A and B are shown apart, each in its own frame.
Chain A
Amino acid sequence: MTKDKELELIRILEHHGRIGTDVLAKMLDENEDNVNACMKKLEDEKVILSYAALIDWTKVTTEDHIAAMIDVKVTPQREVGFDEVAARIQRFPEVTALYLMSGTYDLSVMVEGQTMEGVARFVSSKLSTLDAVLSTTTHFRLKKYKHDGVVFNQDEKDRRMVVSP
């Protein structure tokens, strides 16, 4: 498959991970075996890491689903900089995302949990007790409007006439 088609495949899959390879083959004007091979290659190369669904949890469960973003200041360590402390933090199952930031703090830690207490406990007992961690500022997420380019709760009706010029 050409590089252009490979990129196109990646673009499509980024938003429509479930689309069948027969349909993908038609969309790319390619044969299905090539599409399968290309997807396998992208998975092996860890370009495609996972095929996930984007869920609006507020619609399916009344259970609390708490998320917080925690700004963390750390002391960078000799030789390894921020990587070592990041490696420790990313292993906690509560952590769903972790980024190194520029600006007033160093690491941005996204934590998800069932209860506010749970998240608070994680911060106080696990995160802030790490040697390298100097300070934390926790922001609880109140509502999700848009995530990964997808707008939540948007009723996208097709307002066009059934037939038009």
Chain B
Amino acid sequence: MSQNTVQPKTKNKRLSRAVSNIEPSGIRRFFDLAANMEDCISLGVGEPDFVTPWNVREASMAALEQGYTSYTSNAGMFELRTAISEYMLDRFDVGYDPEEEVIVTVGASEAIDLAVRATIDPGDEVLVATPAFVSYEPLVTLSGAVPVPVAADASTDFKLTKERLEAAITDRSRAIILSFPNNPTGAVMNDVELQAIAEVAEAHDLLVFSDEIYAELSYDTEHTAFSTLEHMRDRTVLISGFSKAFAMTGWRLGFVCAPPDITQAMLKIHQYSLMCAPTQAQHGALEALRNGRGIVEKMTNSYRARRNYIVHALNEAGLSCRFPGGSFYAFPSVEVTGMDDETFAEQLLKEEKVAVVPGSVFGKGGEGHVRCSYATSMDALQIATARIEAFVHRHAQ
């Protein structure tokens, strides 16, 4: 949520200033609106529509049967960290030492929190490429630092540019948070485009928190891990997890790969706040990495076809929409209707019972757009896009 939507509040004495200063997620408000609606078709979900692959569920049940019910080491089972390290090397060409440079976390969510808290001091500025995942800015605020949004909006094809980034840098800038493929825009950045960002990071001595949780969901090009760029390994905190690629959102399992000084600092917070990630989930994740790759490919193929479908259908319906290269979101502009994104989403929900998420809940650059998740069945997509078309025809100016 962007800074400027924060309303000054009368301070409740029992609550910390940091908490009083952040707003609940805009997604939450939309959830409340949509949740009670009967036969609503939802394009509002930010998670796979697949159930976790059976072999993963089975491995986790087997672990329970065998009595694996106690804590693991703080950083996570060594076997799992090794598997993560091998997977990253094999799949994304980036090696990390499982002993010192990998931590298993409670979702990528925890990894982001740890990264910020372990490296940023109160008053520091953290640049956030927006539109972005809803938790980046609040997590920066909670750590006492200041989030500085940098627009990666429609005018730059939802990519972050060197010029925009440089213009936002001050003496207090300490780090950048980026995530490509992106939630909510679906944009990806290739190695050349990322290299330009890397040069700025080096010139201004910034850390880069690179949330690569959608890496597997890159449909047209190979994913570039930020830390493989020249001179970037030492200043990159690579965040990822099992939620999206392996359809494991409810398992709450993610991981982080970073140079040892940073992981060891993150580990201090992790060991005191959470001790370790859930044990059964770790056993499931191990199976996912060892034997889940074919299934990931199948799921990705299915998302790709649905992406193609929804983008064509939205454009035909009159909403202009770019071809997103990754994640499972299409991010069309609602300009033709003359409505702002909040109004569009609310009206669409009321009139046609289709839930989409207003782009502005993801930050300033998202205004005028809505996020449509295509992680849903082809049947639902066809009905939803037909309803959107009817809606746009009624309201187009």
Q: Do A and B come from one complex?
A: yes
Q: Are B31 and A28 in contact (CB under 8 A)?
A: no
**A61 CA / B357 CA spacing, docked (Å):** 44
Q: Which of A16, A25, A26, A162 contacts B42 (CB 8 A)?
A: A162
Residues of A within 8 Å of B106, CB to CB, are none
Residues of A within 8 Å of B181, CB to CB, are none
* B312 lies within 8 A of chain A by Cβ: yes
In the complex formed, the residue of B with least CB distance to A161 is B31
A-contact bits for B28-68, CB 8 A (1 contact / 0 none): 00110011010010101111010000000000000000000
Q: Which of B37, B49, B378 contacts A160 (CB 8 A)?
A: B49
Minimum CB–CB distance for A18 against chain B, Å: 11
Q: Are B305 and A12 in contact (CB under 8 A)?
A: yes
Q: Are B45 and A26 in contact (CB under 8 A)?
A: no
Q: Are A26 and B312 in contact (CB under 8 A)?
A: yes
Minimum CB–CB distance for A80 against chain B, Å: 38
**A25 CA / B306 CA spacing, docked (Å):** 11
**A23 CA / B31 CA spacing, docked (Å):** 30
**A11 CA / B297 CA spacing, docked (Å):** 13
**A26 CA / B374 CA spacing, docked (Å):** 14
Q: Are B34 and A162 in contact (CB under 8 A)?
A: yes
Q: Which of A41-83 contact B (CB under 8 A)?
A: none
Question: Do A27 and B309 form a contact, CB below 8 Å, given A160-B49, A165-B134?
Answer: yes
Residues of A within 8 Å of B69, CB to CB, are none
A-contact bits for B370-382, CB 8 A (1 contact / 0 none): 0000001010001
Minimum CB–CB distance for A103 against chain B, Å: 26
Q: Are B305 and A28 in contact (CB under 8 A)?
A: yes
In the complex formed, the residue of A with least CB distance to B243 is A165
Residues of B within 8 Å of A160, CB to CB, are 42, 45, 47, 49
**A161 CA / B44 CA spacing, docked (Å):** 9
* B133 lies within 8 A of chain A by Cβ: yes
**A16 CA / B46 CA spacing, docked (Å):** 25
Question: How many A-B Cβ pairs are below 8 Å?
Answer: 65
* B221 lies within 8 A of chain A by Cβ: no
Interface residue tally of chain B, by bracket?
20 to 34
* B271 lies within 8 A of chain A by Cβ: no
Question: Do A23 and B34 form a contact, CB below 8 Å, given A162-B42, A165-B46?
Answer: no
Q: Which of A19, A158, A165 contacts B25 (CB 8 A)?
A: A165
- Listed residue (A12, A23, A165) with the most chain B CB atoms within 10 angstroms of its CB: A165
In the complex formed, the residue of B with least CB distance to A165 is B46
Residues of B within 8 Å of A12, CB to CB, are 305
Residues of B within 8 Å of A162, CB to CB, are 31, 34-35, 37, 40, 42, 44-45, 355
Question: Do A23 and B44 form a contact, CB below 8 Å, given A28-B305, A29-B312?
Answer: no
Residues of A within 8 Å of B357, CB to CB, are 163
Residues of A within 8 Å of B135, CB to CB, are 165
* A164 lies within 8 A of chain B by Cβ: yes
Interface residue tally of chain A, by bracket?
10 to 19
Q: Are A161 and B378 in contact (CB under 8 A)?
A: no
Question: Do A163 and B305 form a contact, CB below 8 Å, given A16-B378, A19-B378, A23-B378?
Answer: no
Minimum CB–CB distance for A2 against chain B, Å: 13
Q: Are B308 and A26 in contact (CB under 8 A)?
A: yes
- Listed residue (A8, A23, A27) with the most chain B CB atoms within 10 angstroms of its CB: A27
In the complex formed, the residue of A with least CB distance to B33 is A163
Question: Do A164 and B308 form a contact, CB below 8 Å, given A23-B378, A158-B49?
Answer: no
Residues of B within 8 Å of A165, CB to CB, are 25, 27, 46, 133-135, 183
Q: Which of A1-51 contact B (CB under 8 A)?
A: 8, 11-12, 16, 19, 23, 25-29
A-contact bits for B118-135, CB 8 A (1 contact / 0 none): 000000000000000111
**A163 CA / B378 CA spacing, docked (Å):** 18
Q: Are A163 and B312 in contact (CB under 8 A)?
A: no
Minimum CB–CB distance for B274 against chain A, Å: 19
Q: A23-B309, A26-B308, A163-B357 are in contact. List 15 more A-B contacts (CB 8 A).
A: A8-B305, A16-B378, A19-B378, A26-B312, A27-B378, A28-B308, A29-B308, A158-B42, A161-B35, A162-B35, A162-B42, A162-B355, A163-B30, A165-B134, A165-B135
A-B contact pairs, 29 of them (CB 8 A): A11-B301, A19-B378, A23-B309, A25-B312, A27-B305, A27-B306, A27-B309, A28-B308, A29-B308, A29-B312, A158-B42, A158-B49, A158-B376, A160-B45, A160-B49, A161-B35, A161-B45, A162-B35, A162-B45, A163-B27, A163-B30, A163-B34, A163-B45, A163-B355, A164-B27, A164-B44, A164-B47, A165-B27, A165-B134
